């Protein structure tokens, strides 16, 4: 009887990788950022994501927070957003 991994790999071109483990294991906070106006200069689309980078000596992690919807973010991201948007 073959295991699921063995059943999935049935040719030479298929590879199996391990699932990516989450970098953050702490609590999450729900936030809401209002959506930006759709039309930018010259009819260009506006990026509806707020980009937050958390970095230290060991690594750098980038998060994208979608505007216009309630999203759960890690506490360090919430702290960074709170500095930029005090009424959050």
Domain that holds residue 63: 23-84
Mean pLDDT score of the chain, rounded to an integer?
A: 83
In a domain, 59, yes or no: yes
CA–CA distance from 6 to each of 2, 11, 19 (Å)? Answer: 6, 10, 16
pLDDT at 7: 53
Domain count, the chain: 1
pLDDT at 5: 53
Q: Across 1-88, where does the E strand assignment appear?
A: 28-32, 49-55, 60-66, 70-74
pLDDT reading at 59 higher than 70: yes
In a domain, 61, yes or no: yes
pLDDT at 4: 54
In a domain, 63, yes or no: yes
pLDDT tens string 1-25: 455 555 555 677 877 888 877 778 8
Q: Within a 10 A sphere around the Cβ of 22, how many other Cβ atoms? A: 7
In a domain, 71, yes or no: yes
């Amino acid at each position: 009887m073959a295991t699921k991994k063995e059943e999935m790999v049935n040719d030479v071109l298929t590879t199996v990788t391990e699932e990516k483990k989450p970098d953050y294991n702490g609590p999450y906070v729900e936030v809401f950022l209002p959506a930006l106006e759709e039309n930018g200069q010259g009819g260009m689309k506006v990026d509806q994501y707020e980009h937050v980078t958390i970095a230290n000596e060991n690594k750098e992690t980038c998060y994208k927070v979608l505007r216009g919807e309630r999203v759960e973010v890690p506490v360090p991201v919430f702290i960074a957003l709170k500095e930029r948007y005090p009424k959050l």
